[in-house]
């Protein structure tokens, strides 16, 4: 993970979380420096763990992206499907 980048992963469901554990993805993400949470509403509603500060940006699969939704009103969010988000991350173009 690039220095200064926070990667917080919230699986969408318990089934997806379990699959990620079984496939070894959770271990891979953690070793790469990511934080993996249990399925829950979190930064997508500005509720807890991972909310954005002023100037931070997020790539999210949430279907809600309005000013201040994920934290500070001077933060930004870029939405997309999970495959698009993963593709962006792999190319390093976030």
Model pLDDT for residues 23-64, shown as the tens digit of each residue: 999 999 999 988 898 887 666 665 666 677 788 777 776 666
16 vs 92: CA distance, rounded Å: 24
Query: At which residue do the structure tokens 């949470």 appear?
Result: 37
The reply to whether the predicted model has a pTM over 0.75 is no
For residues 52 and 71, the answer to whether their CB atoms sit within 8 Å is: yes
Q: Alpha helices of the chain — where are they, by DSSP H?
A: 14-22, 25-31, 82-91
């Amino acid at each position: 993970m690039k220095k200064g980048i926070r990667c917080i992963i919230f699986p969408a469901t318990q089934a997806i979380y379990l699959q990620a554990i079984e496939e070894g993805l959770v271990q891979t993400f953690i070793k790469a420096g990511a934080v993996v949470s249990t399925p829950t509403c979190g930064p997508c509603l500005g509720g807890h763990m991972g909310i954005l500060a002023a100037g931070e940006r997020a790539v999210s699969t949430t279907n809600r992206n309005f000013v201040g939704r994920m934290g500070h009103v001077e933060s930004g969010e870029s939405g997309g499907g999970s495959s698009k988000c993963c593709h962006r991350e792999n190319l390093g173009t976030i």
